[in-house]
Amino acid sequence: MDTDLITLTGLRVHGRHGVFDFERDAGQDFIVDVSLRTSTALAAATDDLKHTVDYGALADSLAEIVAGDPVDLIETLAERLAAACLALNGVDSVQVTVHKPQAPINQRFADVAVTIERSAP
């Protein structure tokens, strides 16, 4: 079976994740990138959205998770996002990157991120 890649990058959502109380109180923006491995052949052949991943609905689902219940670690957040992606019909594997550009780090930095890769069972 052919596998293709559907990618959504730069999804910016305000969330309240972090170890420190001030992170939970004020919150901050998180940026999410996902790449889904799936076959798009049937969708391309039929020109029908029902045979592929609706990336608008995907963005809404991921945003709801980021804006939802807070966690201490972006690793945990990435796992939640990956699980949501793998629950989609036809998704074989996913790569998720969660960026935390406003992380409480005492040094000057551009970004901190965690990237995970997960496959459907």
**Ranges of each domain in the chain:** 4-119
Is a pLDDT exceeding 90 seen at residue 111?
Answer: yes
Residue pLDDT, tens place only, 13-62: 999 999 999 999 999 999 999 999 999 999 999 999 999 999 999 999 99
Q: Does the active-site annotation cover 100? A: yes
Candidates 22, 82, 100, 108; catalytic one: 100
Q: Where are any strands of DSSP class E within 16-112? A: 28-38, 93-99
Top-level class of domain 4-119: alpha beta
